[in-house]
Amino acid sequence: MNPRLHLYNTMTRSVEEFRPASPGKASIFTCGPSTYLRPHIGNYRTFLYEDIVVRYLAYLGFDVRRVINFTDVEDKTIVEAEHQGRKVEDITDEVHRHFFQETELLRIRLPPEIPRSSTSVDQAVEIIQALLASGHAYWFEGDVFFDPLSFDGFGKLYRLDMSKWPATKVRFKKDTYNGNRWNRGDFILWHGHKKDKESAVSWESEIGMGRPAWNIQDPAMILQQIGTQIDINCGGIDNIYRHHDYNIAVMESYSGKKFASYYMHGAHLIVDGSRMSKSRGNILYLEDVVDREFTYSHLRFFLIHLHYRKQLNFTQERFRDTAKRLDSVKSRLARILASTSPNATTPQPVDRIVDEMETVFQSHMNDDLRLGDAFEEFATQLTKIEQNSEESGISIATRDRINSVVSRIDDVFGFMG
């Protein structure tokens, strides 16, 4: 097999050969679902491309260590709990149940343990203490803020123009802000407990009572699960605004080491030409598109067939056409496997095609995970096999070889079985 995988690195804006810090091993962090809202099919497009990254690294023989997280104590979750008159954990547990059920239906492989913000408070406090000691962070009115100007190279992932930074001190106290905008100012790391907000989630800690802000939660969970350095940081394209640069600034200020070598970002899914939103009423969940006609395999195929860095437009017509494409290829494979005869002699061109199937598959996947191209070439090869074996059929040995190759390829695809 050819291990020379090349990935588009958002940090350098170029396709680079993947060279992990430890040969034969790969560490990867992928942002988990927002725990105050149930994931929709756009969220699952991100989780699916990340699933392909993990599956293909394993296919190439890497020992993969993946961390995906639940940020279960952010502002929005607390506000939503107060709005509904429910406990925070009741809302987050409900979202987690949906996530586990739906990732299983979509054949998304998850690590055996998923950390939560609420279970990594000690690590958040450890990082904050170090940042306070080094001058990267400071107290203000009972909260802790990070000063981006203290970190050389802040905004390097986004390539933020720091010349526009305000001359006067500005602080942003919310965990997150809507929209793809830059908050030019200091961002919050720790919400000190406010006596007038007894319903707020807080912990006793070495820096007092409070809770970690969203901006420190990913670094805390990464530190808990892996350490201070990873090979790949994945997420959606919206994470290029603020979030991943915040993580870089926090982790590199804490450790003094390079946080990640590769940054990958998947493009959004839109519906009928528009972004999904409550106001438009066009948010789609799995059960909205999977029914008697369409399966979860159809949806998985649809969400990953187009390259992960291209915006995907969901329309019923496009989904139907893509599902039919998958069905036709699976039917062709079934016909080939059914053409086995004990006395058949497999035509030489068929054996040659079977020999080449994984090499061709790897050539597309090694080029920044071009799964759609790999699938279409796979389909073309099946067509040629069927055309060359129409009269004679294939031998049992060839059938077994095809089954073996398809099984290895589908360990990455996840939609042929």
**Model confidence over 184-233: pLDDT tens digits?**
999 999 999 987 655 568 999 999 999 999 999 999 999 999 999 999 99
**pLDDT score of 310:** 98
Distance, in Å, from the CA atom of 46 to the CA atom of 265, rounded to the nearest integer, reads: 8
Specify whether 241 is located in the same domain as 386.
Answer: no
Q: Are 53 and 121 found together in one domain?
A: yes
Which segment of 227-236, 264-273, 303-312, 341-350 scores lowest on mean pLDDT? 341-350
| Same structural domain, 335 and 248 | no
Residues 248, 309: one domain? no
Are 244 and 290 contained in the same domain? no
pLDDT of residue 81: 86
- At 61, the amino acid letter reads G
Q: How confident is the model over 14-41, as pLDDT tens digits?
A: 999 999 999 999 999 998 888 888 999 9
- Give the model's pLDDT for residue 62: 97
The predicted-structure confidence for 335-351, as pLDDT tens digits, reads as follows: 999 999 888 899 999 99
Q: Is residue 409 pLDDT above 80, yes or no? A: yes
**Up-side HSE of residue 390: CA atoms within 13 Å toward CB?**
4
Query: Would you say residue 242 has pLDDT above 60?
Result: yes
**CATH number for the domain harbouring residue 49:** 3.40.50.620
pLDDT band at 1 (very low <50, low <70, confident <90, very high): very low
pLDDT at position 45 over 70: yes
List the beta bridge partners of residue 67: 29
Cβ proximity of 41 and 99 under 8 Å: no
Same domain, 86 and 188: yes
Region 380-402: mean pLDDT is 95
The arithmetic mean of pLDDT across residues 69-90, rounded, is 89
Burial 229-246 (b: 16+ CB within 10 A, else e): bbbbbbbbbbbbbbbbbb
- Residue 261 domain flag: yes
Instruction: Work out the mean pLDDT of the chain and round it to a whole number.
Output: 95
Confidence of residue 254 (pLDDT cuts 50, 70, 90): very high
244 and 302 within one domain: no
DSSP string, 149-210: GGSTTTTTTTT--GGG--SS--EE-SS--SSS----SEEEEEEE--TT-TTS--B--TT-SE
- State the residue range of the domain holding 312: 286-413
Q: Could you give the number of structural domains in the chain?
A: 2
Question: Is residue 271 assigned to a domain?
Answer: no
Considering the domain architecture, whether residues 227 and 339 belong to the same structural domain is answered as no
What percentage of the chain exceeds 70 in pLDDT? Answer: 98
Query: Which of 266, 296, 312 is the endpoint of a domain?
Result: 266
| Same-domain check for residues 257 and 377 | no
Q: Is 86 helix (H, G, I), strand (E, B) or coil?
A: coil
Q: What percent of the chain has pLDDT over 90?
A: 87
Of 233, 266, 299, the domain-final residue: 266
Q: Which pLDDT belongs to residue 363?
A: 97
Are 154 and 106 members of one domain? yes
Q: What is the per-residue pLDDT for 201?
A: 86
> What pTM was estimated for this model as a whole?
0.95
| Arithmetic mean of pLDDT, 315-323 | 97
Q: Hey, what are 53's tokens?
A: 């990254």
pLDDT band at 264 (very low <50, low <70, confident <90, very high): very high
Residues 58, 108 within the same domain: yes
**DSSP line for 302-333:** HHHHS-TTS-EEE-HHHHHHHHHHHHHHHHHH
Position 278 pLDDT exceeds 90? no
Q: What is the pLDDT of residues 116-168, one digit of tens each?
A: 999 999 999 999 999 999 999 999 999 999 999 999 999 999 999 999 999 99
Q: What is the pLDDT of residues 90-107, one digit of tens each?
A: 999 999 999 999 999 999
pLDDT confidence of residue 243? 95
Q: Determine the pLDDT at residue 83.
A: 86
